[in-house]
Amino acid sequence: MNSFAEFEPQVRSSLNYHVQLMPANVTHVQGIARLMAGWNQKKIESIAANLEKSFSESEAHQGCMQTFVALDDYSVVGYGKCQWLELSSMEGAFNMPDGWYLMGVIVDPLYRRQGIGRRLCEARLRWIKQQSNVAFYYVNALNEVSIRLHKHLGFQEVTRTFGFPGLAFSEGQSGILFKSSLQ
């Protein structure tokens, strides 16, 4: 079973503009943890503890990371993060430049196919554009949903030969590194 959304280009839902996007803060930790737990099947408590630590660290390293949430009323139904990565100094990293990376987006299964993932990506790219003129992202080569979305947003394949410390793609697949010029 894939850990990412099934590729169903023929399935269309209406766009959900009732859902609001905003920068995440510590009050959103439990909602983000719930989404992450559903995706990676870890305990919500340990995910929440790591997220709280991450929010504290991001305040100390202002400007190196930004997380956005999608809210339906006050409930987190999606999130996406971007982060500055200095990969040239990380042991085990290769063929990945230093820069701003989109670091994942998860949308609650009940809210998928409503444009929320796209809006989260666009929000992160607008934020990165204030910092840089280039954004990167990497993905499992089987994740057609993500690949199609990001290509539509201007990302182009850079390489399938790269390494990120601690990263192994599921189902024995390779990954793809993408880049977008933010003009």
Find the helix packing angle between 29-40 and 44-60, rounded to 10°. Answer: 130
For residue 163, tell me if it sits in a domain: yes
Inside any domain, residue 3: no
User: Roughly how many angstroms between the first and final C-alpha of the chain, as a whole number?
Assistant: 38
pLDDT tens string 109-144: 999 889 999 999 999 999 999 999 999 999 999 999
Range of the domain at 116: 20-181
Q: What does the pLDDT look like over 9-49, one tens digit per residue?
A: 555 556 666 899 999 999 999 999 999 887 666 788 888 88
Residue 89 is assigned to a structural domain of this protein: yes
Sequence-ordered list of residues with C-beta below 8 angstroms from that of 64, at least 6 positions apart, any chain: 58, 83, 84
Question: In angstroms, what CA-CA distances link 144 with 4, 9, 137, 141?
Answer: 9, 10, 14, 7
Determine the residue type at 90.
M
DSSP state at residue 94:
B
Within a domain: residue 33? Answer: yes
Domain count, the chain: 1
pTM given for the model: 0.85
